[in-house]
Structures are given as C-alpha cells and as structure tokens.
Amino acid sequence: MKPLLSIIIPFYGNADRKQLDACVESVRRQQMDEKNYELIIADDHGKGLGAARNNGMKQARGIYLLFMDADDVLFPDTLSQCFDLLKMYEPDMLSFGYEYISSQAEKPQTNHHFNTEIYISGAEYMVDHNYLGTAWRHFFLREWLEDIDLHFAEGVYHEDEAFIAKAYFMAGTTVITDLVMYGYVQHHASILNSKEQTMQHKRINDFLGQLIELKKYLHTHEASTSELQHKALRRRISFLTIDFFFQLKRNQCSIKQWYNYVHALKKQELLPLPYGPYSTKYTMARSVINSITFLL
C-alpha cells in the first residue's frame, strides 16, 4: 500500500548530521501513523541540490511529495492538518505557511488559526499573487509531476524558481493555506550569502539561466495552454526579472557587469519590462529598471 506522503531530504557533502537528525526528529514527533509517510534521505551524486531532489523523486512511492532541507524542521502537530486538506481536496499542489527561525529548537510565533483558499488551477493563483519560489513550502501530487515530466535543474542555484513557476503554470486544483508548518533556519554563512566572487557570479548567471528557461518553457507550451496560464507565467517572469536586478545589487556588481547583464536581458526580450497592473511596487520598479535599460 502506498504511503500518502514521501518526504525527501537532500543530504550530502559536508552537511551536519546533527542537523539532519533534528530535521528527521521533527517529522517523527508529528502525531502521525508512520505507515502514512516515508522518509527518503537523498544524495546528489556530486550534482547539487536539484539532483538530490530528483534522485529522491525517483525513489518515492508516496501519493504526495514534500521536500525538506536537512537543517529545517516541521513544527509540532501540523503535518496531520495538511494531510486533512490533501485528503479533502486532492489537489495537484498545496502551499503552506512558514516562519524564519534562528535554530531548529525555536518554536513558531503564529497561532493555530489559519485560512485556506482553493483555486481551480495554479495559474488562477499565480496570475494575481507573488509567492516565495521554494520547493520546501509545497506538497506535490507525485503522479501529476510525472505526467507533466517536471524535474529540478541540476548543478545550478535557484533551481526552485523555474520548478515552482512551471508547477503553478501546469497545476489543476491548488490549495493555499497559511497554516505555519515549516521552520526555515536562517544561516548567515550559507552558500546563497557567500561573498566569494566566483560563487557570486555563478549565482547571478544561474538566476539568469532560470529566467531564460521559463521564457522558453512558456513559448514551448503556448499552443497547448490557456491565455490565463500565459498571463500568469508572464507576470511571474516579470517579477523574477525585477528580482534579478536585486541580485546584481546584492552581489555588488560593477557598472560593466550591469551593462553586460542588461544587454543579455534585452537580447532575451526580458527587457524592457512590460506594463502590468500588478502593484504599485511593480510600477515603480518597472519605471526605474526600464530607465536603466534605455540608459545602458
């Protein structure tokens, strides 16, 4: 009999075994029959986080998949509440709430009352909402992921961004709940916060690669998908393009680098940013970035 859930935890390289033990223990402490889930500790075989998750997906038997990072935790007595929503609505995707914490022992600040919204498709949600593009705040129907042949990019950073955008683009029934289930442990010394120049360049180039991949994906599926889906993914690509400029600023890129990246974005027709009645912040960012585009 298939378990309802496969929990996939990448663990490789110089990762801390004590952190993994705490992560696993946070799952074990859930008030759940262990027959309802399986734990998969996934190796990357030297190809990065995306590869580890893909390897875990290949091993999984569960009806749904949940990706966790080995240094994070599930808050007590929350998994069963998400199980109830999965059983009730049988969605392709379910997104839940999270909190940033400083250690795996920290308790959630949010109370137990939560709201849940149901969408007929992922595109219906994505067309009007921003979201954190991380794999670990979603449940995914495993057979659906297999049907649409969705996997993580390997050997790159920011692999979640394209994966999650494609998932919302293709999803049918989608459940969004603000139930705080996941504790994300912040590490100032993490790879994504590294100031090492080679690492900075790779992060930026990989982010650009994910943008280009999403644009290609939209073009490939243009004839077989709806206008709502197109509109939703175009919106997401525009917001990620704005995020790319924050990447340039955060990584203290030189004027020459800004010039080269702006021209790369223009070549891919990601700039200038299109008009969109999304938000006041988008309108302001669009105005500034398009001004930079025309100057460079």
Q: How large is the average pLDDT for residues 30-53? A: 92
Average pLDDT over residues 216-221: 97
Residue ranges of the alpha helices (H) in the chain? 17-28, 49-59, 79-89, 122-126, 142-147, 159-170, 197-220, 227-250, 255-267, 280-295
- Indicate the residue type of 119: Y
Quick: pLDDT tens for 267-278. 999 999 999 889
* Boundaries of every domain in the chain: 5-185, 191-295
Q: What is the pLDDT of residue 34?
A: 85
What is the distance between the alpha carbons of residues 204 and 209, in angstroms, rounded to a whole number? 9
Residue 189 has pLDDT above 60, yes or no: no
- Record the tokens describing residue 86, joined without a space: 């999965």
Q: How confident is the model at residue 108 (pLDDT cuts 50, 70, 90)?
A: confident
Cβ atoms of 95 and 167 closer than 8 Å: no
pLDDT reported for residue 188 = 60
pLDDT of amino acid 195: 60
Whether domain 5-185 has CATH 3.40.190.10: no
- Mean pLDDT for the stretch of residues 90-114: 88
Q: Are 72 and 12 in contact (CB under 8 A)?
A: no
How far is residue 136 from each of residues 9, 67, 93, 97, 273, measured CA to CA in Å?
Answer: 10, 5, 12, 10, 29
Per DSSP, what are the bridge partners of residue 8? 40, 67
Q: What is the three-class DSSP state of 230?
A: helix
Q: Is the peptide bond before 10 cis (omega within 30 degrees of 0)?
A: no
Give the mean model confidence (pLDDT) for residues 71-81.
94
pLDDT at 275: 92
Q: Is residue 162 exposed (0-12), middle (13-18) or buried (19+ Cβ within 10 Å)?
A: buried
Q: How far is CA 182 from CA 100, 150, 160, 212, in A?
A: 9, 23, 17, 30
Confidence bin at 193 (pLDDT 50/70/90): low
Query: What pLDDT shows up at residue 190?
Result: 52
Q: What is the chain's mean pLDDT, rounded?
A: 93
Q: How confident is the model at residue 222 (pLDDT cuts 50, 70, 90)?
A: very high
What pLDDT is attached to residue 45?
86
pLDDT at 216: 97
